Amino acid sequence: MRLFLHGRSQPSTIMQKLEMGCNNQLPSYTSLLLSNWNLDDTMDDVLDAVETFVSKQAIPDIILQNCNSDDPGRLEHLVSVLLNTAASQRGGSLTIRYDKQRNFPLGVAKGILLGAKQQLFTHASLHSLTLKGMTFTAETSLILQQALSNIPSLQELTIRGNFTLHEVDRRGCTIIGRQNTKSIKHLQEMECTIDIFYDILQGLSDLKVLDLQQCHVPDEYLADILEGLYPETLEILRLNGNMCGEESQQMLHEILIHEQCALKELDLSWQRQPKASKNFSILPLGWLAKVLAKDNTSLETLNLSDNRLLDQDVAELAVALKNNISLQSIRMQNCRISARGILALFHTLPHWSEQLKNVYVDGHQRVEKSSSTRRKIYQGLLENVYLKHLDLPDSCQSRRIAWVLELNKAGRRILLNPSELEETDASSSNSSSESSSSLASSDYAVVQDALWPTILERADRISRQEYLLEESCTNKGASAMFLLLREKGYQSLVR
């Protein structure tokens, strides 16, 4: 449960809520949101009450939103108190965010440093730190680096920008300053900031999640940041809204082919270059296809959405999906893929690994001859009993495809191949072959029974669609079964 305290509320109202919380007259809170606080106008009594409240309630999730002060000391003290409160709880997180992009406040940076130093004496450790809507300079980045060096066990680090497209295209805004500038001094400061970011990541050897979404970091700088990561511990990397190019892709390649790579989720959606046509840029996939085909066995979730993908690259990725044994979910939404690319992707569908259960290629795609494309997708899906979620462009969707997916979810794999269950039971059992066979037959019967609710639910829907207006029709069950068996392709599914 979250306690929301708005800075424009009456001080008496805030004090009343805090006092009731301290006296256990309110439900236990797991989250605290302090929004739009101007600390210069806030009475000391109120701030003291906040400090007392968080120390007694021991809240693990704290959010500081749009909080400002002309006196860095007041902001520094509040941030340090909140950080220590979050750090004292297992899995504690601190989020500091601004709705409009602004320079990283010095008071916030020093508050994080002060709170991190105090953790050394309490043996606490912050689990997650999130900074949104702030632009970093060399000075504030250095303070952040000093702070995080005192929290080496930090698990999750999120740094996000909050830019408009006008700011990105016209002014070249990034999380480390304006890119479109001729000032050598400014460019040198950007390079210095990136070097500090590299040092920050080098000091976080236990980091599992790095979120750099909407930062719009140029390719060469992004590559320098990625170089500071530890492939053997990092599990989630989110890079939506950056400018991943050749240099960054090379660093990602090095991470993915690392012999102890632990990366499970990679988000490369919307890698947008400046002034991109129709807001989309081409993202080459040749390097990624080669890695997935033979060099990486850790990646489970891949997001390539909102990029322009070339048909040849999609075809190479499709071949990689035949050989990859770890991917469970892949997104390629709004990628401007043509019918050729779609067909190349689903041509390999029968050979995809049993681990790959979720594929999303819906949204804006350039699919011509949609009827033949639908038919080929359906034919390929008939041979894949593992896929459970398949989102397609509107022109490629069909009831037959939806029906096959429903049966996949209900266990069509066992229905079509019962010997697979028998082999599994026989290999995992130390008992006699006769008892293994009996066990397999019993489980197979249970699986068949479990499929019938799905089949009958489908029959009911078909019956309602065709006889909704015929009030005199009473024998709905027989009609539904007749319509079900009449559906083209149904017998091929259950024989």
Q: Write out pLDDT tens, residues 420-430.
A: 544 544 444 44
Q: What is the arithmetic mean of pLDDT over 369-381? A: 91
First to last CA, the chain: 52
The Cα–Cα gap between 298 and 263 comes to 6
Asked if residue 109 lies in contact with residue 143, where contact means CB atoms within 8 angstroms, the answer is yes
Mean pLDDT, the chain, rounded, equals 86
The Cα–Cα gap between 455 and 349 comes to 24
Q: Is the pLDDT of residue 40 over 80?
A: yes
Which of 17-26, 136-145, 199-208 is the least confident region? 17-26
Q: Is the pLDDT of residue 453 over 70?
A: no
Asked if residue 405 lies in contact with residue 390, where contact means CB atoms within 8 angstroms, the answer is yes
More confident residue, 275 or 201: 201
Output DSSP code: residue 293: I
Q: Is the pLDDT of residue 383 over 60?
A: yes
Residue 62: its H or E element: strand 61-65
Q: What is the arithmetic mean of pLDDT over 393-400? A: 91
The Cα–Cα gap between 407 and 381 comes to 11
- Where does the pLDDT of residue 438 fall: very low under 50, low under 70, confident under 90, or very high at 90 and above? very low
pTM of the full structure: 0.86
Which of 153-157, 190-194, 415-419 is the least confident region? 415-419
Strands 61-65 and 156-160: unpaired
Q: Is the pLDDT of residue 73 over 80?
A: yes
- Where does the pLDDT of residue 180 fall: very low under 50, low under 70, confident under 90, or very high at 90 and above? confident
Q: Which CATH number fits domain 1-162: 3.80.10, 3.90.550, 3.15.10, 3.30.250?
A: 3.80.10
The Cα–Cα gap between 318 and 341 comes to 9
Q: Cα–Cα–Cα angle for 447, 324, 341, nearest 5°?
A: 100
Asked if residue 54 lies in contact with residue 32, where contact means CB atoms within 8 angstroms, the answer is yes
- Where does the pLDDT of residue 313 fall: very low under 50, low under 70, confident under 90, or very high at 90 and above? very high
The Cα–Cα gap between 153 and 123 comes to 11
Q: Is the pLDDT of residue 64 over 50?
A: yes
Backbone φ, ψ for residue 62 (5° rounding): -125, 135
The pLDDT of residue 483 is 57
Q: Is the pLDDT of residue 124 over 90?
A: no
The pLDDT of residue 352 is 95
Residue 134: its H or E element: strand 128-135
Strands 177-178 and 173-174: antiparallel
- Where does the pLDDT of residue 117 fall: very low under 50, low under 70, confident under 90, or very high at 90 and above? very high
Q: Is the pLDDT of residue 469 over 90?
A: no
Strand positions, DSSP E, 136-281:
156-160, 173-174, 177-178, 209-211, 236-238, 265-267
Which CA distances in Å does 83 have to 46, 94, 124?
A: 18, 6, 10
More confident residue, 428 or 401: 401
Encoded tokens for 399: 């009831």
Q: Is the pLDDT of residue 81 over 60?
A: yes
Residue 25, class by beta-carbon neighbours within 10 Å (0-12 exposed, 13-18 middle, 19+ buried)?
A: exposed
The Cα–Cα gap between 41 and 44 comes to 9
- Where does the pLDDT of residue 38 fall: very low under 50, low under 70, confident under 90, or very high at 90 and above? very high
Q: What is the arithmetic mean of pLDDT over 26-52? A: 88
The pLDDT of residue 430 is 46
Domain-wise residue ranges, the chain: 1-162, 414-494
The Cα–Cα gap between 376 and 207 comes to 44
Q: Is 268 helix (H, G, I), strand (E, B) or coil?
A: coil
